[in-house]
Chains A and B, each alone.
Chain A
Amino acid sequence: MIDGTSAFLEGVVRTATPLALAALGETVTERSGIINIGLEGSIIAGALGAVIGAGYGGVWAGFAFAAVCGCAVAAIFALFAVTLRADQIISGTAVTLLALGGTGTLYRILYGSAGAGLNTPTLDPMSLPLLSQIPVIGRSLFVQSAITYMLYLLIPAVGWWMYRTHAGLGLRAIGENPAAAIAAGIRARRVQFLAVLFGGLLGGISGGTLVLAQAGTFVEGMSAGRGFIAIAIVVLGRWNPLGAALAALVFGAASALQFFFQATESNLPYQLFLAFPYVLTLVALAATRGRASSPAALGRQDFGQS
């Protein structure tokens, strides 16, 4: 049973990693006042990009190309939502549709209609000396793939940047009061564009993680709503990098439950566990009672003056 719990906790952190990456990026995006529903599109593009990149230059080329693909999808969204000031919800939905259909089409063109038997190299878990010896949580936190360790470094880095630097202050100012930020000389549209690109970058890496640290292959639609769950995680994490990471762990646990119950051979239908993270998202959003602490100008098309 100890082994079971330990394996479960390892699974929690492993499944939480892509969610936390995407949510971290979306936190930055939303702090600039833009809600990117197209995050799902960046994740699936990153997943396909990872397969293509890894085919040329191994795991790290896979991650690099995943990031590029995620960024490219986010750039399309930013072109509409930021540059053209189109409705963010509609633009994001269209971009998700575009990426889901586009990756499906490209995958079938590149690897044939069946597409089976495609295997990419994957990252092996690395055991960190000493830290992995910590009882109970040691193995789950410190016997993970390199991408999870990068996430550990990224969370405080983004937090420091957002709360302790002038640029981070500017980002938050646009999300709270764009008119005042512009008056203070901040180029709001440019910062928003870059914030969306950063979200897409991490979204792409998140998709890359699904392939290169977990599945080892691409499946059409394998992002499976993680982009939308990540947006819920941002709300749950109160638009704060550390909060997002902790909220991602809760959802990692919800997803990892299915592995746990498969192992225990319970008679509960497996669809119940597949549906559980989505039900949890609804409950969590209701429990946080809406958008009390959201950036004040989140989702707004216009800055109120121009």
Chain B
Amino acid sequence: MAFVVDMLVHATPLMITGLAVAIAFRAGVWNIGADGQFIAGATAAAWVGVSAPVEIRWLALIAALVAGVIAGAIWAAGAAWLRSRFGVLEVISTIMLNFIATYGASFLVRGPLQEPTHVYPQTSGIVSGAHMPVLVSGTRLHWGFVIGTVLAAMAWWVMKYSATGFKVRASGVNPFAARSAGLIDVSRVTTIAFVVSGAVAGMAGAIEVTGVTFALYENISPGYGYTAIAVALLAGLNPLGVIGTGILFGALETAAGTMQRNIGIPSTTASVIEAVVILAVIAIAQLRANRVTRTV
């Protein structure tokens, strides 16, 4: 039972950042910056959570989540703007923004947002009104997991059944065909998908702060945004599949943590496994695709 709870708690940020990556990749946007957007969201949520008045319970929580969403969206919008305005490769810009977010958060928890005793590099705890309610009483499992699942289901529906989803998929598969045959404003569609992706990753950061850590720490993300790429690719970029792969990687990270404590297998091994998963997925896809082209 404890393992299941830990697994689902670990799965929550992976699932939601994985969803963010899936949305971007579907639109042909290589958003490697879910990590930075996660940190931006976590920072904004912590800032609101620390300074919100205690009494208004739901309002403080919602304000923190909204702040996280906006911060994540803004962080992604920077890279989206650089891409559409200057043609800057988003792979490079989002990775640079990851580093900038990391140092930015480091500055804030050692400077303006540091807890009052100025001993630890972290903010004070967020007010209890901004805490995410617990899903199963007596455990750490919080409503963030449900929010993530609902978000994934919504994204799946939009991608599959709405006109917007069709435009996103068309832009990702073949931007030139989408532009000329489908009369789709590809630049606009990809920019929107990019910003939405950032908003979702920011939401993940806000949920982590309001549901798990209750404060902003220096290394709030142990690389969720990179694991998210494995989560999204293994799901075949399908938003519903992300729920399953998110839980799978949640289990992997929980097991890696346990193994490190018990038998000393380094937790960095988890990112090796993630990388192997990504490579295996693309190898299988490529071998299949190459075989088809050869037989034609």
Contact = CB atoms under 8 A, between A and B. Distances in A.
B286 A101 contact: no
Contacts of B110: 269, 271
The range of chain B's interface size is: 35 or more
A220 B268 contact: yes
Contact of B278 (A93, A271, A281, A291): A93
A97 B278 contact: yes
Contacts of B97: 278, 282
Contacts of B290: 84-85
A93 B264 contact: no
Given A84-B290, A86-B283, A97-B278, A37 B226 contact: no
Does more than half of chain A's interface fall in helix, strand or loop, or is it mixed?
A: helix
Contacts of B96: 225, 228-229, 232, 278-279, 281-282
Contacts of A291: 87, 89
Nearest to A227: B95
Contact of A275 (B86, B91, B99): B99
Interface string A66-101: 000000000010001000111101110111011011
24 contacts: A80-B279, A80-B283, A93-B229, A97-B278, A98-B271, A98-B279, A101-B268, A101-B274, A102-B268, A113-B264, A113-B266, A225-B99, A228-B91, A229-B96, A269-B111, A272-B103, A272-B107, A275-B100, A278-B100, A278-B103, A279-B100, A282-B93, A286-B82, A306-B293
A264 B258 CA distance: 46
Contacts of A108: 266, 268
Nearest first, the 6 closest Cβ-Cβ pairs linking A and B are A290-B87, A101-B271, A104-B268, A98-B275, A94-B278, A271-B107
Contact of A232 (B92, B99, B233): B92
A91 B279 contact: yes
A167 interface: no
B102 to A, nearest CB: 8
Contact of B86 (A86, A271, A286): A286
A90 B272 contact: no
B269 interface: yes
Interface string A265-301: 0000101101100110110011001110000000000
A75 B238 CA distance: 30
A285 B283 contact: no
A164 B285 CA distance: 40
Interface in B131-161: none
A89 B272 CA distance: 18
A51 interface: no
Interface in B40-90: 82, 85-89
Interface residues of A, number: 46
Interface of B: 30, 32, 82, 85-89, 91-93, 95-97, 99-100, 103-104, 106-107, 110-111, 226, 229-230, 233, 264, 266, 268-272, 274-276, 278-279, 282-283, 285-287, 290, 293
A109 B82 contact: no
A276 to B, nearest CB: 9
Contacts of A90: 229, 233, 278, 282
A13 to B, nearest CB: 23
A97 B274 contact: yes
B169 to A, nearest CB: 17
Contacts of B283: 80, 84, 86
Contacts of A165: none
B274 A105 contact: no
B36 to A, nearest CB: 10
Contacts of B106: 271
Given A80-B283, A290-B86, A306-B293, A100 B271 contact: yes
Contacts of B293: 306
B92 A231 contact: yes
A289 B89 CA distance: 11
Given A91-B279, A97-B274, A275-B103, A285 B111 contact: no
